[in-house]
Amino acid sequence: MSAEAADPGAPLRRRSRPRIDLRRLGRVALRGPVSRDRLPDAISHVAEAHRAHHPDADLTILRRAYVLAESSHRGQMRKSGEPYITHPLAVTLILAELGAETTTLTASLLHDTVEDTEVTLDQVKEQFGDEVCYLVDGVTKLEKVDYGAAAEPETFRKMLVATGNDVRVMSIKLADRLHNMRTLGVMRPEKQARIAKVTRDVLIPLAERLGVQALKTELEDLVFAILHPEEYEETRALIAAATGPDDPLETIADNVTHTLRDAGISAEVLIRPRHFVSVHRVRRKRGELRGTDFGRLLVLVGEDADCYAVLGELHTCFTPVISEFKDFIAAPKFNLYQSLHTAVVGPEGAVAEVLIRTHRMHKVAEAGVVALGNPYAQDPAAPPQTEASDERADPTRPGWLSRLLDWQESATDPDTFWTTLRDDLAQDREITVFRTDGGTLGLPAGASCVDAAYAQYGDLAHTAIGARVNGRLATLSTVLSDGDTVQPLLAQDTASGPSPDWLDHARTPAARIAITGWFSDHPDEAKPDPEAVDATGPGAQGEPSLEREAPGGTAPARSRSGPRPTGVVVDDPNAQVRLAGCCTPVPPDELTGFVVRGGAVTVHRRECPAVAAMQEIGRAPVAARWADGEGRESDAGCRVTLVAESFGRPRLLADLTEAIATADAAIVSATVEPPSEQRVRHTYTLRLPDAAGLPGLMRAMRDVAGVYDVSRAQHPAPTG
């Protein structure tokens, strides 16, 4: 864009530009043999490519856009020595060949006019309308004179926000970067490397997410050649050596063609060469390349059902490699991609990868969102659209883009935004998890329940205490899989906050920024809780720190602002007293305490294994007793940890939860161990209004069908 413009005589750009006479510029551009009734010869190839996809397109607006672009860029030269107008023409041709509609092509012709000439956005809007104006503004860079070093990240932020309202903005940017990369050789090596790295870290992942594979693969090869020239040359030599008349894929393609013809399936069988980076990846994965590794077979059919018919014939008449089978038709990728993937063994043991898709799927696989045409045009024959609860049902606003738009608002610092953007785009796979209300969440692979909580609830997720995954209670650190159903559980107490170790499990920028922001606002809370270390250390069976837990919407949780009354008296009246999370004593348990890090006294049941462990390492016990025989935690009841042993059966968890609720107890935290020999172990930390209700609660839990024992928890003692 502006970096490519080289007009040494051009005046410095002014903040306030004089209004230029567009009619005069139009008359100048039309001088010569070109009449007003036909397109200038310079864009006839663009028009031809456009009409191939849109036969009825009105080319009048393209003619006017070219006139303005050519006249306004006149006199500007690219660093390659070509007239600058060749750049917007090339970008527009790229998009036309992908099937972009007329509005996108119009904006593409004009995409540098506001940035590099005296044309203003108001003039673009007046001449070409709001849509074209919005697209041109979306891809216009912010000036370094105003933003300094932050100009590039802030330009991308601006572009992402614009893309959130119209994905065609990013389509133009990707085509713009592709043409600039094609002509990057005229620049200094260090500048080539800088642009290639930004392309690799930001533009290529965006092309992947928008499904524009045709642009993505060429950008990958161009970046590969600049950043890894030696490996690029080795790969190029391997591809050149493999090109010849004895291509084993040709033989397999002929066999596949005859097989499908004999089965009465109308299909087109093509050999699809791998691009350089793909060959390089296969070589790194397998070591020595096979003759069939330089390409894949592409089978194109008319209908979805034909895809499965082709698959059946291939798996019947050839030996399939089952591990290579993937069905992206029944479960499309997050970037609109649909196809069947398989591999078959041909003559002499040659293995060929096969892609099976319809012609429509192939167009979308190559062009992604560009193939949607104008996704905002209303079909007059279609029924009125209602707002979808699932954001990913709208291909113009996919889940990953919504996430970027959400967290960029929190990343006010340009450096934080730039770093976080690259990190998020480095996640090269996305999963879909289902909410219990029927909606979905798009998350990067490796995301945990922490990410799901922040994706669904935003800052309210600070109070998360756990989750249900596929109906089972799970910790917030649980990693989610594609297709899981997740229900984050929140506390009622809005004063509670996240745990520092949530950052170890957060994969999405939204979650990390929200957690980091909370600790920035609460700096004292970022320090480890000494009670949590002592009571829930290596022996606590992975149970979350109870100092950071809160009931799932059933009772108030402990505030994080200082110690609360425990109803326990120790010898030192000034000491902070905490009930141990490992044994959760309640009246009338006999007590003993120990001084832990920070000077607080942690109180245990005398029979707790932690007591013996503390004494073995030389910790002196501190006398402790219930205050005035009450033993109540002021205004908050008492806590206790119970272990239920049961036989596995359907609805067991629901029945136990109902029994607990009926006994007027609140679940603070819960873990369910994987079944072993049809037996299941449930561990619940509960809050009761009064310790007197504990025996009745335990009886109610034992009465649940399948439960054969309920006991007070006796966690192994911590050793640190």
Per-residue model confidence as pLDDT tens digits over 113-127: 999 999 999 999 999
Instruction: Report which of 358, 240, 361, 238 is spatially closest to residue 310, judged by C-alpha positions.
Output: 358
115 catalytic per annotation: yes
- The pLDDT of residue 253 is 93
Buried b (16+ CB within 10 A) or exposed e, 232-270: beebeebbeebeeeebbbebbbebbeebbeeeebebebe
Q: Which candidate in 101, 115, 529, 534 is catalytic?
A: 115
Distances (CA, A) of 233 to 8, 181, 239, 275, 399: 37, 18, 10, 13, 38
| Residues 344-387: tens digit of each pLDDT | 998 778 899 999 999 999 999 999 888 776 666 655 444 444 44
- The pLDDT of residue 378 is 55
Return the higher-pLDDT residue of 549 and 173.
173
Given pLDDT bands bounded at 50, 70 and 90, which one contains residue 389?
very low
In the predicted structure, residue 652 carries a pLDDT above the cut 90: no
DSSP state, residue 10: P
Return the higher-pLDDT residue of 410 and 448.
448
In the predicted structure, residue 45 carries a pLDDT above the cut 80: yes
Range 458-478 average pLDDT: 86
Q: Give the whole-angstrom CA distance, residue 458 versus residue 446.
A: 19
Range 691-708 average pLDDT: 84
In the predicted structure, residue 392 carries a pLDDT above the cut 50: no
- The pLDDT of residue 23 is 40
In the predicted structure, residue 157 carries a pLDDT above the cut 70: yes
In the predicted structure, residue 597 carries a pLDDT above the cut 70: no
Return the higher-pLDDT residue of 410 and 290.
290
Given pLDDT bands bounded at 50, 70 and 90, which one contains residue 411?
low
Q: Which candidate in 70, 101, 112, 116 is catalytic?
A: 116
Range 299-321 average pLDDT: 93
607 catalytic per annotation: no
- The pLDDT of residue 19 is 41
- The pLDDT of residue 109 is 95
| Residues 397-406: tens digit of each pLDDT | 555 676 677 6
Q: Give the whole-angstrom CA distance, residue 76 versus residue 113.
A: 11
Range 650-672 average pLDDT: 81
Ranges 449-463, 619-633, 694-708, most confident: 449-463
In the predicted structure, residue 393 carries a pLDDT above the cut 80: no
| Angle between helix 130-139 and 102-109 (nearest 10) | 50
- The pLDDT of residue 712 is 83
- Mean pLDDT, the chain, as a whole number? 78
Q: What percent of the chain has pLDDT over 70?
A: 78
Instruction: Report which of 86, 80, 49 is spatially closest to residue 66, judged by C-alpha positions.
Output: 86
Return the higher-pLDDT residue of 450 and 287.
450
Instruction: Report which of 469, 515, 513 is spatially closest to residue 488, judged by C-alpha positions.
Output: 469
Range 257-278 average pLDDT: 93
Q: Give the whole-angstrom CA distance, residue 656 versus residue 640.
A: 16
Token digits for 36? 């007003």
Q: Give the whole-angstrom CA distance, residue 312 versus residue 318.
A: 10
**Do the beta carbons of residue 156 and residue 130 sit within 8 Å?**
no
- The pLDDT of residue 31 is 39
Indicate left, alpha or beta for 75 from its phi (over 0: left) and psi (-120 to 50: alpha).
left
Return the higher-pLDDT residue of 29 and 689.
689
- The pLDDT of residue 243 is 77
Cis amide leading into 33 (omega within 30): no
Structure pTM? Answer: 0.61
* Least-confidence region, from 16-25, 52-61, 477-486, 639-648: 16-25
Q: Give the whole-angstrom CA distance, residue 317 versus residue 386.
A: 47
Q: Is 708 helix (H, G, I), strand (E, B) or coil?
A: strand
Range 120-146 average pLDDT: 88
- The pLDDT of residue 254 is 93
- The pLDDT of residue 716 is 46
Range 7-24 average pLDDT: 38
In the predicted structure, residue 172 carries a pLDDT above the cut 80: yes
- The pLDDT of residue 518 is 85
Q: Give the whole-angstrom CA distance, residue 480 versus residue 451.
A: 9
Q: Give the whole-angstrom CA distance, residue 457 versus residue 436.
A: 13
- The pLDDT of residue 694 is 86
Buried b (16+ CB within 10 A) or exposed e, 131-159: bbbbbbbbbbbbeeeeeeebbbbbbbbbb
Given pLDDT bands bounded at 50, 70 and 90, which one contains residue 524?
low
Burial category of 634 from C-beta neighbours within 10 Å (exposed 0-12, middle 13-18, buried 19 and up): exposed
In the predicted structure, residue 138 carries a pLDDT above the cut 80: yes
Q: How many CA atoms lie within 13 A of 269 on its CB side?
A: 21
